[in-house]
């Protein structure tokens, strides 16, 4: 059940209505049933998978808590490590089996073939469970928090199961922490008009990002990427720039709908994006892009590896490990691994030459606060990030390399001013819709970057102006949104992860 489907348009009001009509003490049970129904709409059988993962981490959490309370100091640390290790192996084992088995053995076949060794390994061709990477990481975050004694193990199985399967953020995040979401599940709140107003407005903005911006861009660039070898390199380059906005608006749109729907129910999820394309350097970009995943890897992988507490070389190695793992998390393909590796290399080089850059700025007396310098640094950062999206969009190394070759072979900027270049949009209406939408996004992100909550500013306006904005937003979605003709055409990009 996608957020931009008629099914969800019927499902969500029913969930909200019943949720606030039933007593506070049993609301979590209704949300749990609703969340499992929401997930089963994709594949009912895989609900058993999320139930098994939930049960495993729930039991391990109780064992950790019981062991901590036993009072036997000599045995507790060793037993706790064994319980934690078992839980991690079970959860990552499930993730590996469904997401990485075919990739791992096809890679093994390839490398063995280089040495003349032939392996005949049957491919499983399993259907990837929707959101498996997200709920697996959320479960792992919980069990590690219990192990560290940052939280106490949840004794109520239904409440913990709701924490893992909470439907607004189940499929594509944000990856919530037990210190935030589980605490709210244990303390439900009554209906709040302000939460509902803000939630509905946030959901509408998320639908605008997805249907008006991301899906319209997809309609333009998807046919071109399917046949990229027959297009001019400058068209491919322009499509890559558009893809950068497509993936941002698609994923940010999902997050906004998730945050908005949770707000209506009285829950507050963490933000996942803070105007990432306005970042002035690659380090700032990764502080503001997919924040929940970045913070997860920082807290549960980078810091345990030693972070920056040891040698400089060790810090760089840890950074590369984190980004290679992030690339692999995104997809079972060497293209994703290389995408993560390049981004990790960016951060290593940025840190390595940071002092050199400061000396250069001082020597030539560059005013880093000047609008021109800020615009230049943001432009360079965007280009660096956009280059890595080639590996993300191509889905395979060969395709990514061929796309780069096509761009380099036909790199003639003058072609951008030709009529045939802009003919890819099909009509002036589509072109104008995308351009105006991107201007709106950049403007709203600029306010966000400056620390101004533009949505709250809208909600503070007088009722006439406020409703004019509401009507304009809804009208734009229905008039210019790309609704598609089937589930595949309206799918969120991050559902595949």
Spell out the per-residue pLDDT of the chain, length 497, in tens.
788 888 888 999 999 999 999 999 999 999 999 999 999 988 888 899 999 999 999 999 999 988 877 666 556 788 889 999 999 999 999 999 888 888 888 888 777 777 777 777 666 667 788 889 999 999 999 999 999 988 999 999 999 999 999 999 998 879 999 999 999 999 988 899 999 999 999 999 999 999 999 999 999 999 999 888 888 989 999 999 999 999 999 999 999 999 999 999 999 999 999 999 999 999 999 999 999 999 999 999 999 999 888 888 999 999 999 999 999 999 888 999 999 999 999 999 999 988 888 888 888 888 888 888 899 999 999 999 999 999 988 878 999 999 999 999 888 888 888 888 888 888 888 999 999 999 999 999 999 998 888 888 888 888 888 889 899 999 999 888 887 654 444 677 777 66
Hey, where are the domains in the chain? 6-188, 195-496
What's the confidence (pLDDT) of residue 444?
93
What's the confidence (pLDDT) of residue 487?
43
Integer Cα distance of 456 and 224 in angstroms: 39
Tell me, yes or no, if 232 is annotated catalytic.
Answer: no
Tokens of 20: 């606030």
- Tell me if 422 sits within 8 A of 431, measured CB to CB: yes
CA distances from 257 to 198, 203, 204, 208, 403 (A): 11, 4, 7, 10, 33
- Tell me if 392 sits within 8 A of 339, measured CB to CB: yes
Side-chain half-sphere exposure of 420, counting CA atoms within 13 A: 8
Reduced to 3 states (helix: H, G, I; strand: E, B; else coil), residue 462 is coil
In the DSSP assignment, the letter for residue 269 is: P
What's the confidence (pLDDT) of residue 146?
93
Which residues make Cβ contacts (< 8 Å) with residue 67, sequence separation at least 6? 75, 76, 79, 80, 83
Integer Cα distance of 78 and 220 in angstroms: 57
What's the confidence (pLDDT) of residue 489?
47
Please count the other Cβ atoms lying within 10 Å of the Cβ belonging to residue 279.
Answer: 21
Integer Cα distance of 362 and 123 in angstroms: 58
Phi then psi for residue 115, to 5 deg, are -105, 15
Reduced to 3 states (helix: H, G, I; strand: E, B; else coil), residue 232 is coil
Reference 246, options 271, 267, 224, 270; nearest CA is 224
What's the confidence (pLDDT) of residue 490?
66
In the DSSP assignment, the letter for residue 290 is: S
- Tell me if 267 sits within 8 A of 412, measured CB to CB: no
Reference 225, options 413, 421, 390; nearest CA is 390
Between helix 193-207 and helix 463-480 the angle, nearest 10°, is 30
Contacts within 8 Å (CB) and 24+ apart, 143-147: 143/57, 143/60, 143/61, 143/64, 143/84, 143/87, 143/88, 144/84, 144/300, 145/177, 145/178, 145/179, 146/61, 146/64, 146/65, 146/178, 147/64, 147/80, 147/83, 147/84
What's the confidence (pLDDT) of residue 399?
92
What's the confidence (pLDDT) of residue 355?
83
Among the options 7, 268, 330, 412, which is catalytic? Answer: 330
């Amino acid at each position: 059940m996608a957020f931009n489907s008629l099914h969800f348009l019927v499902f969500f009001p029913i969930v909200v209505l019943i949720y606030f009509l039933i007593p506070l003490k049993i609301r979590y049970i209704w949300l749990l049933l609703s969340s499992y129904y929401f997930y089963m709409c994709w594949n009912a059988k895989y609900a058993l998978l999320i139930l098994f993962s939930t049960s495993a981490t729930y039991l391990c959490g109780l064992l950790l808590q019981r062991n901590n309370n036993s009072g036997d100091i000599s045995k507790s640390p060793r037993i706790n490590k064994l319980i934690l290790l078992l839980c991690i192996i079970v959860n990552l084992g499930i993730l590996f089996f469904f997401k990485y088995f075919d990739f791992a053995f096809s890679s093994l076949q390839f490398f063995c073939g280089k040495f003349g060794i032939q392996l005949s390994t049957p491919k499983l061709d399993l259907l990837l469970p929707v959101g498996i990477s997200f709920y697996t990481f959320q479960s792992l975050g919980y069990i590690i928090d219990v192990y560290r004694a940052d939280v106490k193990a949840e004794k109520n199985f239904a409440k913990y199961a709701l924490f893992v399967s909470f439907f607004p953020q189940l499929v594509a995040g944000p990856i919530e922490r037990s210190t935030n979401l589980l605490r709210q599940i244990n303390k439900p709140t009554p209906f709040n008009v302000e939460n509902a107003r803000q939630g509905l407005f946030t959901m509408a903005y998320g639908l605008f990002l997805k249907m008006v911006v991301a899906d319209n861009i997809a309609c333009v660039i998807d046919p071109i990427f399917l046949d990229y070898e027959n297009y001019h390199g400058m068209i491919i380059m322009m499509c890559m720039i558009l893809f950068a906005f497509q993936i941002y608006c698609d994923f940010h749109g999902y997050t906004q709908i998730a945050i908005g729907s949770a707000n209506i129910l009285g829950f507050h999820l963490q933000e996942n994006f803070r105007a990432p394309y306005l970042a002035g350097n690659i380090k700032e970009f990764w502080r503001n892009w997919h924040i929940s995943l970045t913070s997860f890897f920082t807290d549960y992988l980078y810091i345990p590896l030693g972070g920056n507490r040891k040698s400089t070389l060790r810090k760089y190695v840890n950074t590369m490990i984190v980004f290679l793992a992030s690339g692999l998390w995104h997809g079972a393909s060497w293209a994703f691994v290389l995408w993560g590796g390049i981004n990790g290399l960016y951060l290593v080089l940025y840190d390595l030459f940071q002092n050199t850059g400061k000396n250069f700025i001082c020597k030539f007396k560059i005013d880093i606060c000047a609008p021109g310098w800020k615009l230049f640094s943001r432009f360079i950062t965007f280009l660096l990030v956009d280059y890595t999206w080639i590996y993300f969009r191509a889905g395979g190394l060969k395709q990514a390399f061929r796309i780069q070759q096509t761009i380099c072979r036909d790199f003639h900027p003058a072609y951008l001013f030709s009529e045939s270049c802009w003919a890819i949009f099909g009509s002036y209406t589509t072109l104008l819709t995308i351009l105006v939408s991107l201007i709106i996004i950049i403007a709203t992100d600029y306010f966000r970057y400056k620390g101004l909550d533009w949505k709250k500013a809208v909600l503070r306006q007088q009722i006439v102006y406020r409703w004019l904005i509401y009507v304009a937003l809804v009208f734009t979605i229905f008039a210019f949104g790309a609704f598609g003709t089937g589930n595949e055409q309206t799918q969120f990009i991050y559902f595949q992860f």
